[in-house]
Amino acid sequence: MSFQSFEGGLRMRRLRASESIRRMVRENEVRPEHLILPVFLMDGNDSEPVASMPGVTRLSVPALVEKCRKLLALGVCGIAPFPKTPDDKKSPAGEESANPDCLVCRAIRAVKAAVPEMLIFADIALDPYTTHGHDGILNAAGTDVDNDTTLDALAQMALNNARAGADFVAPSDMMDGRIARIRKALDANGFSRVGILAYSAKYASAFYGPFREAVGSRKKDSGNVTGLTKKTYQLSPANRREAVREALLDEAECADMLMVKPALPYLDILRDVRERSLLPLAAYQVSGEYSQIKAAAQLGFLDYKAVRDESLLAIRRAGADIILTYFAEEYARDFRNA
């Protein structure tokens, strides 16, 4: 068939002729219920803005409860809380992560007591709690993250968050075998109904900078003199097939949902995983993705809402059932008011 001629009456523009037709034949849509809002927590009763993420605020526990009430009213039914742990509670082994009364556990209990319908996806990784900023416990020489020792700490952290009321635990550490270890621990302690959202394809990305400022885990030297980098456990941005292997391993270890992180720079990975797994698939539109859109809009370089919405639609189109995004609340508000 030649697209140079109209023989046979082929005109693609007939299906684009009006807004009503375009809506009727729309293949993908982003609705508030597709979104999870990542939220940053801080101790005390005050809240404070995150300088590198315009419009994002670290919330106190009472402020988080109020935020959840607003989110549910807008149709957003999930949050992913991340703590800014005070420096005096950090340690090389991140013991505060095992504290059943840590900031995140207190926040989960408060939200579930006041807004039980809100789904909570509790991050499972040690980086907010370690002095060196890594996602696990270092070996004695400080030259590497000790995978198997870290698994024990992650399992305990997952149990504490489940006891507090988390609906899902979300391991973001990228240790080998952590999904199986966490699932075993949850089931053995009566939490078989708590799900696992696995950060299956989490890349060693440069787009995480604002997030690390928000949770206070950014360290210029990674807390050691050996040059240890997260590239030893997060995926290389050069690799595509490896991401599918990671996702399928997490599925085999009984993850309930899979995730690709970041989102927009990795739409090909999102599509690859979507085509290989039937599990619900999430994508995390990370802090750097959010902040660059905000910054460009503030400089007048682009139409903020149009680019925001197009970015979310692209992630859905690539295969995401669920999107973790800092745009969730404002997008839902605009969606409801449209």
Q: What angle do CA 231, 235, 241 make, to 5 degrees?
A: 150
What H or E segment, with its residue span, contains residue 273? helix 267-276
C-alpha span between 240 and 237 (Å, rounded): 8
Neighbours of 232 (CB within 10 A): 13
Is 261 annotated in the active site?
yes
Element (H, E) at 120: strand 119-124
The radius of gyration computed from the CA coordinates of the chain, to the nearest angstrom, equals 21
Structure tokens at 228: 């240890």
Catalytic residue among 67, 84, 90, 202: 202
To the nearest 10 degrees (0 to 180), the angle between helices 328-337 and 61-74 is: 30
Q: Which of helix, strand or coil describes residue 300?
A: coil
Distance CA 324, CA 30 (A): 12
The residue annotated as part of the active site, out of 67, 230, 261, 294, is 261
Is 67 annotated in the active site? no
Give the Cα separation of 186 and 25 in Å (integer): 44
Q: Which residues are catalytic?
A: 202, 261
